[in-house]
Amino acid sequence: MWLLHFLPDSFLIWVINGICIAGAVSTVLGFFCGWVPFVGRWKLPLQLLGIALLVAGVYFKGGYSTEMEWRARVAEVEAKVKVAEAKAKEANTKVQEKIVTKIVKIKEKAEVAKENIRRNREKINAECKLSDEAVAAYNASIIKEKK
């Protein structure tokens, strides 16, 4: 069946319709035109051939319509995937922007905390004891980094 994908769809539908029409004509000739001398002589083979062609044509017609339905579904899903990919790309850029701004804010807060520690270095190093300002500065820098 995969070889049929190499044939154009219009050619396939033409062949399928031709098989259906040939089967219908042969069946009608075999059943209703038995009184015609030529047809009467070949009545039974014509009926059998007509029925076989008609059944095969209807079978192929159903298979072709099912194939076309699946192709339409695939095209629909591919369109949905393209839309979803575009939305995902847009959402990723927004998330990336938010991450970059948060990183910048964290770095700014860390710099402020470091500068605060540098300014209060003398108080921090005095007698190797931590003053309340140093503890507060340290705690502030940790709390700001976690947010």
Rg (CA), the chain: 41
Report the C-alpha gap between 15 and 25 in whole angstroms. 15
The DSSP secondary-structure symbol of 120 reads: T
Q: What are phi and psi of 139, to 5 degrees?
A: -60, -40
pTM above 0.85, yes or no: no
- Confidence class for position 132, pLDDT limits 50, 70, 90: confident
Domain ranges of the chain: 8-146
Contact 12, 4 (CB under 8 A): yes
Choose among 26, 57, 18: nearest CA to 44. 26
pLDDT of residue 91: 95
Q: What is the pLDDT of residues 1-10, one digit of tens each?
A: 667 778 888 9
Give the pair of three-digit tokens for residue 87: 């939305």
pLDDT band at 123 (very low <50, low <70, confident <90, very high): confident
Which residue has 């339905």 as its token pair? 69
Whether residue 122 has pLDDT greater than 80: no
pLDDT tens column, 44-94: 898 999 999 999 999 999 999 998 999 999 999 999 999 999 999 999 999
Instruction: Return the exposure string of 11-24: e unless at least 16 CB atoms fall within 10 Å of the residue's CB, then b.
Output: eeeeebeebbebbb
- Neighbouring CB atoms inside 10 A of 115's CB total 11
With the C-alpha atoms ordered 57, 58, 59, 62, is the resulting torsion angle positive or negative?
positive
Banded pLDDT at 144 (limits 50, 70, 90) = low
Mean pLDDT in the chain?
A: 86
